[in-house]
């Protein structure tokens, strides 16, 4: 990792787990870090922990609830009022296998938070990314995308809900989005690149949402045998800083089964690079969120919002 200075990185869910580890590493390399978090108290605690490691770092905290499109818009508007550039957007935050629930806008919780919230956030921030030389969008996928399928007839879970199935679906959606975003950026000659990555099988607190915890045995297994968060975060940092990346890559651990190890280029499941599926999902996301990417102006793309 090369040292950088005066670059700004937004990391969603950067208060814990892989997000915090990536934020800490990037802060140590000179990035100014903005932790985009649901819980400001936890965000401030995470900020203090980063500053304990890197007292000279610049770290800020701003509220973002990806399960609320109004919060997503407010976050982006607040950022754009204070900053004129954005070097790095890390779409990291995620929830895993909660009981059935819905976002504030009525979407199934995992699809709405893990995918649709990041889709809208990226659209809102793209004008600043496009203006910033060398900018990147990093979207966190998962090995779970290999087992995912997009059920367009049951995206809200009203026809049946299985937590793992819907988690796999949300992670496949993230992969499709990352690849399609890069194709559209290149098509419109926008210098920003989009890269996907995954942490392998990592032990993080993604197993908790609200008052619900994963079973104790599962958490004990994760802590003993899975890749620790600091190793899992290396794929994110590699995707964010490796100078030879040109967009459209998928980064993950190099070890057996791609579950553990240092980061290297990985190969997505064929479904993740299905262009027809990606375009259909993109159209559905625009319809569901009312947010549309505007790539027509190559030097300063905007975003339109349908009420």
Q: How far apart are the first and last CA of the chain?
A: 43
User: Domain extents for the chain?
Assistant: 7-302
Residue with tokens 């995918």: 115
pTM: 0.90
- Burial class of 74 by CB neighbour count within 10 A (0 to 12, 13 to 18, 19+): middle
pLDDT (tens, 9 = 90+) of the chain, 307 residues, equals 556 667 999 999 999 999 999 999 999 999 999 999 999 999 999 999 999 999 999 999 999 999 999 999 999 999 999 999 999 999 999 999 999 999 999 999 999 999 999 999 999 999 999 999 999 999 998 888 889 999 999 999 999 999 999 999 999 999 999 999 999 999 999 999 999 999 876 655 444 444 445 555 555 555 555 677 788 899 999 999 999 999 999 999 886 656 677 988 999 999 999 999 999 999 999 999 999 998 875 454 444 444 3
Torsions phi, psi of 24, nearest 5? Answer: -65, -45
Residue 298's pLDDT is what? 45
Q: What is the pLDDT of residue 282?
A: 98
Per-residue CA distances from 77 to 9, 15, 124, 219, 252 (Å): 16, 21, 8, 38, 32
- Longest CA–CA span in the chain (Å) reads 53
Question: Are the C-beta atoms of 174 and 196 separated by less than 8 Å?
Answer: yes
Confidence at residue 302, expressed as pLDDT on a 0 to 100 scale:
47
Active-site option among 167, 212, 250, 262: 167
pLDDT at residue 144, rounded to an integer? 85
pLDDT reported for residue 220: 56
| CATH 3.40.50.300 assigned to 7-302 | no
Q: What is the pLDDT of residue 261?
A: 74
Closest CA to 101 of 209, 218, 213, 17: 209
Q: Helices 117-131 and 69-82 meet at what angle, rounded to 10?
A: 20
Q: Catalytic: 167?
A: yes
Judged by phi (left if over 0) then psi (alpha if -120 to 50, else beta), residue 22 lies in alpha
């Amino acid at each position: 990792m090369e040292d950088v200075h005066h670059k700004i990185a937004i990391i969603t869910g950067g208060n814990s787990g892989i997000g915090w580890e990536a934020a800490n590493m990037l802060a140590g390399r000179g990035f100014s870090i903005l932790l985009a978090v649901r819980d400001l108290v936890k965000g401030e605690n995470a900020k203090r922990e980063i500053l304990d490691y890197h007292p000279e770092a610049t770290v800020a905290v701003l509220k973002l609830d990806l399960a609320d499109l109004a919060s997503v818009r407010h976050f982006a508007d607040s950022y754009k009022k204070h900053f004129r550039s954005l070097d790095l957007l890390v779409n990291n935050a995620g929830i895993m296998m909660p009981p059935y629930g819905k976002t504030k806008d009525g979407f199934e919780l995992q699809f709405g938070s893990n995918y649709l919230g990041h889709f809208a956030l990226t659209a809102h921030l793209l004008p600043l990314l496009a203006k910033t030389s060398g900018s990147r969008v990093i979207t966190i996928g998962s090995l779970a995308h290999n087992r995912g399928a997009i059920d367009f007839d049951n995206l809200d879970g009203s026809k049946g809900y299985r937590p793992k199935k819907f988690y796999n679906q949300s992670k496949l959606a993230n992969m499709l989005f990352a690849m399609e975003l890069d194709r559209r950026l290149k098509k419109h000659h926008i210098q920003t690149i989009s890269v996907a990555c995954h942490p392998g099988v990592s032990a993080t607190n993604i197993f908790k949402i609200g008052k619900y915890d994963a079973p104790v045995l599962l958490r004990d297994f994760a802590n003993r045998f899975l890749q620790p968060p600091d190793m899992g975060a290396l794929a994110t940092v590699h995707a964010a800083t490796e100078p030879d990346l040109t967009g459209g890559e998928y980064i993950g651990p190099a070890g057996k089964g791609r579950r553990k190890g240092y980061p290297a280029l990985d190969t997505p499941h064929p479904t993740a690079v299905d262009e027809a599926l990606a375009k259909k999902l993109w159209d559905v996301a625009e319809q569901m969120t009312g947010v549309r990417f505007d790539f027509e102006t190559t030097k300063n793309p905007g975003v339109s919002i349908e009420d």
